[in-house]
Amino acid sequence: MLDEGTLHFWAWSCSACSDWFVPQLKLLEWPPGCTPDQALAQARVACPHCGNLHLDREKPKLNATGRYIRHRKLPETERVPGAVFDQYVPDLEPAERKTASFWISGLASPWASFGQVAKVLVEAYRSNEQERIQAEINTWGGELYRVRGDAPAWEEVSACRLEYLPRTVPDGVQKITMGVDVQKNGLFYVIQGWGFNSESWLLDHDFIAGETEHEAVWAGLRSIITGALGQRRIDRCFIDSGYRPGDVQRRPDHAVYSFCRSLPGQVFPTKGQDTMDTPVRFVSLDFTVGGRVIKQGVKLFHLNTDYFKRWLHGRIRWPKDQPGGWHLHVQTTEDFCRQIVSEELLLKASGRSTWIRKSRNNHYLDACVNATAAAHSLNVHTLQRVTAAAVAPPPRQPQSNRYERRTL
């Protein structure tokens, strides 16, 4: 890996100011709006220090006087958005490293002119095909390219905070749903309140740590689901069964399906699909426990994840003066905000779209998709505007249940 070595980058000395710079594709310039043939004839490489434009005929001299300059990668806290090589600076006090690594730009190649590289790039950009753009940047520049899609910035998510505390139910909440994302080492969950015009309020989000092969983490989840938020309860909970549906024959008490069956009518397993003709549909599962077939044992909801991710990102950018906003409580963490926009929607040249990850941590996004789908299954989009007094439910009556009910 380049970053694990000495990070020697090929550099040129500017013919005007004599300062050293690393040639890279962002310094390759051509007239705005020009054709590929015009780019072929007029491409130049700019010095980042003084702006001097270098012609292709200067390349032999630039290479003859060029040299490798050792660099280091900036700490993550000091990096700024930009080209890949903006994340590196000359290493004035190089530390000893066992591996030597070298990088040289395709712009320094004696077999391709600045104009030829520019022509290929203009043609790729005009095609608007992300895969083609990526291939040309990799091939002609020797540079990495991150496919970019459409998603709000995490700061836009953070701006959705309002002055209410977690686990308090704001006026206007008529239904409460919960979404859970199952991982090997724990459960990520989100609880949301819903009102008129699908307006939503984040009521709580957290991570229940524990191996999901064992009962303890599921007992913690049960306590939250069956607990109260003031005088309110969770109307419906969706749990993603994609990671650990469970082997219901060997470990029925640890399976998502079995857990959902233990809370009938309130908790349901889900599976996400990229394309569906409806946002939500369900099927009744038959499965065997201890050699016995249980008919209509649990309803599995299939979710159109593309639909709900688009819906979620659209609500983040909802006009502030319109009913239907997407709100967060005042203590919502930055990690939550970043995870909500950890995936971007990319439109391919074929016209089909796909979701691409910007980060491996997308668990709260998946949990929110489940909570939103649960709300959709309850038809929250049909809720009418009501007063706070009308929303408040009567006091809950004790209910018999074979599971202990515990409140947080």
SS3 40: helix
Neighbours of 3 (CB within 10 A): 10
Q: Write down the pLDDT at residue 344.
A: 84
Q: Is the pLDDT of residue 349 over 90?
A: no
- Name, in order, each residue with C-beta under 8 angstroms of 78's C-beta and a sequence gap of 6 or more: none
Of residues 293 and 20, the one with the higher pLDDT is 20
Q: Which of 170-179, 206-215, 393-402 has the highest mean pLDDT?
A: 170-179
pLDDT digits (tens, 9 = 90+) for 257-282: 888 888 989 999 999 987 788 889 88
**What tens digit of pLDDT does each residue of 232-244 get?**
999 999 999 877 5
Token pair belonging to 181: 């994302």
- Give the chain's end-to-end CA distance (angstroms, integer): 48
**Burial of residue 82, with CB atoms counted within 10 A of its CB: 0-12 exposed, 13-18 middle, 19 or more buried:** exposed
Which residue is it, tokens 């319109």?
Answer: 322
pTM: 0.62
- 209 pLDDT band (50/70/90 cuts)? very high
| pLDDT value at residue 296 | 56
Domain locations along the chain: 2-141, 154-391
Give the pLDDT confidence of 307-348 residue by residue, as tens digits.
999 899 889 988 887 889 999 999 999 999 999 999 888 765
Helical H runs in 298-341?
305-316, 334-340
- What pLDDT digit, counting tens, does each position of 381-405 carry? 999 987 655 555 554 444 444 333 3
**Average pLDDT for 121-138:** 79
Residue 142 pLDDT level (bands cut at 50, 70, 90): confident
Q: Is the pLDDT of residue 252 over 50?
A: no
Reduced 3-state DSSP string for 211-280: CCCCHHHHHHHHHHHHCCECCECCCEEEEECCCCCCCCCCCHHHCHHHHHHCCCCCEEEEEEECCCCCCE
Lowest mean pLDDT among 62-71, 290-299, 362-371: 290-299
* Whether residue 72 has pLDDT greater than 60: yes
- Tell me the C-alpha distance between 267 and 239, whole Å: 7
Mean pLDDT of 215-221: 92
Q: What is the pLDDT of residue 140?
A: 85
Instruction: Give the residue carrying structure tokens 């913690």.
Output: 220
Residue with tokens 């994340």: 87
Architecture of domain 154-391: 2-Layer Sandwich (3.30)
How high is the mean pLDDT of the chain? 83
Task: Please report the pLDDT score of residue 206 as a whole number.
Answer: 96
- Contact by Cβ (8 Å): 14, 44: no
- 3-class DSSP assignment, residue 92: coil
Q: pLDDT tens for residues 144-159?
A: 765 556 678 899 999 9
What is residue 97's predicted lDDT score, i.e. its pLDDT? 77
- Percentage of the chain lying above the pLDDT 70 cut: 81
